[in-house]
Structure 1
Amino acid sequence: MTMKKLLAGATLALGITTGAYAQDDPTKVGFVYVGPVGDGGWTYEHDQGRLAVEEHFGDAVETVFVESVPEGADAERVMTQMALQGADLIFTTSFGYMDATNAVAAQFPDVKFEHATGYRRDTPNVSTYSARFYEGRAVQGHIAGHMTESNIVGYIASFPIPEVIRGINAAYLHAKEVNPDIEFRIVWVYTWFDPAKEAEAATVLIEQGADVVLQHTDSTAPQAAAQQAGGVVTFGQASDMAEFGPFPRVSSIIDDWAPYYIARTQAVIDGTWESMDTWDGIAPGMVKIGEITDAVPAEVKASAEAMIEAMRSGEYHPFTGPINRQDGSAWLADGEVADDGTLAGMNFYVEGLTGDIPQ
């Protein structure tokens, strides 16, 4: 069997979808996804970024992707196959791919690897990138605190990693600021994408009295559960989820990866790619806030938009003291802003949140 046939067979076995082969030596860019491209959330937006790369570069770039890759040995296998099949640049788009990304990168020093939401760069051919989702969570918390009538906000959390804990804290602080009686109830589902588990979590929270449900999971199932229940406010996660607007979905966090993917692909083409860490938010446009619908009172919408603009201009940081830790000990003094190192490794709740972070 020829090498070409062997690689073609491996491609089919992996379920890789490829772009057009319009020139002899296009730059090959791979994407590894933790969920399906049709999840309506996290993976959908990463794939929109991949499509933007195809549109921007045309025949100069070929993209491949594998969807629904579990975090673990399967991820390492998929990354290895991509590298063997000639990928020049591979984006691995889930926190749980960190070990696999660094292990495979060490075996393929000429391939560039980009790991989303991770922090390890063991070799010079690994970069890390993420978005400051907590900025969007602050906006959601502000709206939630105003709109809840039961004073109970439900939160569907995926895994107890710093990214998710930051989001919970940011949402709670800004809900508490406008509504001192607010209570957060958190359900950990230990998955990024499982519509059945996500719907069940939403239903449980609603049955416990939550009339606002936030999510850090990737499907639209919580939106559908809230819509069925009636009278429950939700927010789109990672993608706009606008099909559930103007209510229950009253706004959203949108992850816009396209500019980053285009820039990093260009760097590989130009030979200027270097290992780096990128953590961008609302100001550079990596985090966008979906339309705040008219289901939100006009004065609340105006104050939320003012907060967005203050973050965009750098006038406001969502973690600005005074803020205490859950046990009452001081974390940030009045006017003090959290440093990125603490935020990147955040493993504690802020004062007022109840329950323990799972270990």
Structure 2
Amino acid sequence: MHFGVFVPQGWRMDLVELAGPVEQWEAMTAVARAADTGPWDSIWLFDHFHTVPEPARETVFEAWTATAALARDTQRVKLGQMVGCNGYRNPALYAKMAATVDVASHGRLYAGLGAGWAEDEWTAYGYPWSSLKDRMGSFRESVELIHRLWTEEDVVFHGKYHSVDKPYVEPRRKPPLWIGGGGEQVTLKLVAQYADACNFGTGQVDVIEHKLSVLRKHCESVGRDYNEIVKSTSLNLFPISPGADPVTATAKARGRYSVEEFREIGAGGGVGLADILTTGEIRSRLERLEEIGVQYVILYIPGVAYDHDPLHLLSSDVVPAFS
């Protein structure tokens, strides 16, 4: 099992304790560099413009420019987005951007892509918000087109949502494509056809088991080797040592928040709360995920911008156990 960690970029209100954007940027970079010197395989960013759980006038660093900069601030770790929003960039531009960052990082890019879901961001930034059917149709065309632009020359494509006429996507590189999402009719079929890795961001064993069974059937239908695809999930958690008091252990990372607020912010406004778990409890959870076929876990650590100790605790007491 391999591990990645999200760097704090502001989306989950995880830079608000810092004085200004430069200090916030340096805090994000410091976490990236800390991961670069540890046992982590990768660092990750979200592709969002507004904070969660509610939009607030707070810093959220843009994913692709941040990825490019962090590529030059690190030496070893891979860099990815979980995941890039298809609606924010023309697929040919996406292919060009990803190839550029892959070169800048000397081949360390994991290119993440998903259909997108944050309606408030789309409308605020002037992207037309369409039906789920149209967003998935656009996503389907984009994945095929990006794959072709990375692997073919003189691509001509005239779809319902996207068109290109022999663009020169140079440098022409093919970084690993990570597709996020668990839609069984479109997304998982695209994973089977084109992806190098997939991500089900739930961390829920029963859900992941089901999604993997669906993916296996799609692979059989299209003649793809199921074992070629990296299966990943994401977890939101704050590690503590066995016997540690959760209130005391999270104090530096929590800042202005109560423990309950801290757990809610750490979950990104999604279903449930970020977990505060001992290292032993985390290892047990990871062992169960490994048993069902999860090969890669991306961890989000609330408050890591203010306290690197949880990152170091995972580095010493959790990640090596699965090496």
With the length of structure 2 as denominator, give the TM-score of the two structures. 0.33
Structure with more contact order per residue of length (Cα contacts < 8 Å, sep ≥ 6): 2
With the length of structure 1 as denominator, give the TM-score of the two structures. 0.30
